[in-house]
Structure 1
Amino acid sequence: MIYYWLHMVYVYIGSRIFWEKIRPTSELTRTRRVNLLDCESFRFMANSKYFYYMDLIRYEVVFRSKLYDNTVKKGMFGVLASQKIIYKKPLKMFVKFDITLKLEGSDEKWVYHRQVFKQNGQTCAIGFTKAGFWKNKKAQNMNEILISSDPDYKIKVPSEELLNLFEKDYSILKINDKTI
């Protein structure tokens, strides 16, 4: 956990002071290297680390863009509603990989992202996230936040396929509550 927070501080300081600003709706690619602490059995990146890198790149977009000023500085906090990942091929230890974050769309409550992991030009995994911002126990309007953070943003409706990925999340939680 300490490693996570140190990495988060690095991303925050780099984003706020050293790296150039970006639009929150732009595609962002980061090159990383699978290190020893990322691996299980000293060969491949552990499945849990994919989510870790997905967090880092999402927060980097928040910190490097006007999203930070329009949300965090106004007392809102980021909420991850759901995330899914599809694994195709493991990421090998000590080899560089690219993670690309792409905005897939938004609605009143949520913003949807696709995060693609590539190593040696091959897609190794694809992650999807549904996230938003909350204040006073209430979801904030993501379309308004995105437009105020990027005036050139044209509202992009998420695809039906993407919405279907997250459609049954709440019913699964309700069924689980009844069975426990």
Structure 2
Amino acid sequence: MYPFIRYASTIAHAALKAKKGDTLTFKDTSEIQFRCRLSDIDNFLEMNNGRVFTLYDLGRMDFAVRTGLGKQLLKKRWGLVIAGSTIQYRKRIRAFQKVTLKTKIVGIDARWLYIEQSMWVKGQPCSSGLLRTGVTKGGRVIDTAQVLAALGQSDWDLPPTGYVAEWIKSDADRPWPPVDTAD
């Protein structure tokens, strides 16, 4: 089940932080902390891999609210979309461990914001995800220049480089729709 209460609580905490002046720009890294709950674990008593992606939503919401993007989403009736993702898992997260979730933008092109998210336990990285995200209006992705302008960050430029650019290139080579390998 989707963690609606945690989601709402994350938004409320982010709004309180922003109200107290603890805001972010698109150049900053958001950090939130939580505990791995029983509802997050699988039969091996560790955080379920699918739950990791779900909890990454919390980090993106904290980032959106504290950067002012959340206000713009409401004001302009914009939405958010994930158009692609890749993840690596390196260390198990066990029940009740304290997790730090970090969210930052690692690239922007004309259409997409590339976000890196990671979960850490006791200063050790456990998972890292790279997501292609967009802001939508009427079900269509809008130009990132429009988003940056609404946030007063029109002058900010962060072209995808390194592994982000390599992922974009390799993902473009991926067939869509998927090739049916059944005989």
TM normalised by structure 2 equals: 0.85
Matched with 1:9 is: 8
Matched with 2:24 is: 23
The separation in 2 between residues aligned to 1:31 and 1:14, in whole angstroms, is 11
Contact 1:29 1:98 in 2 (8 A): yes
Partner of 2:146, secondary structure, is: helix
Q: Does 1:141 align with 2:112?
A: no
The separation in 2 between residues aligned to 1:12 and 1:135, in whole angstroms, is 21
Q: Does 1:44 align with 2:57?
A: no
Written as runs of structure 1 = structure 2, the 5 A alignment for 1:19-168 is 19-20=17-18, 21-25=22-26, 26-41=28-43, 43-151=45-153, 154-168=156-170
The separation in 1 between residues aligned to 2:98 and 2:181, in whole angstroms, is 43
CA deviations on 1:161-180 (whole Å, 9 max, x unpaired) are 21322434465452416657
CA deviations on 1:98-145 (whole Å, 9 max, x unpaired) are 111111021111001111211111111111111011113422111331
The separation in 1 between residues aligned to 2:82 and 2:109, in whole angstroms, is 15
Runs of 5+ consecutive residues of structure 2 not aligned to the other structure: none
Please report the RMSD computed on the Cα atoms of aligned residues, expressed in angstroms. Answer: 2.3
Contact 1:116 1:123 in 2 (8 A): yes
Q: Which amino acid aligns with 1:80?
A: I
Runs of 5+ consecutive residues of structure 1 not aligned to the other structure: none
Contact 2:116 2:131 in 1 (8 A): yes
TM normalised by structure 1 equals: 0.86
Contact 1:24 1:146 in 2 (8 A): no
Q: Which amino acid aligns with 2:82?
A: L
Contact 1:27 1:101 in 2 (8 A): yes
Partner of 2:3, secondary structure, is: helix
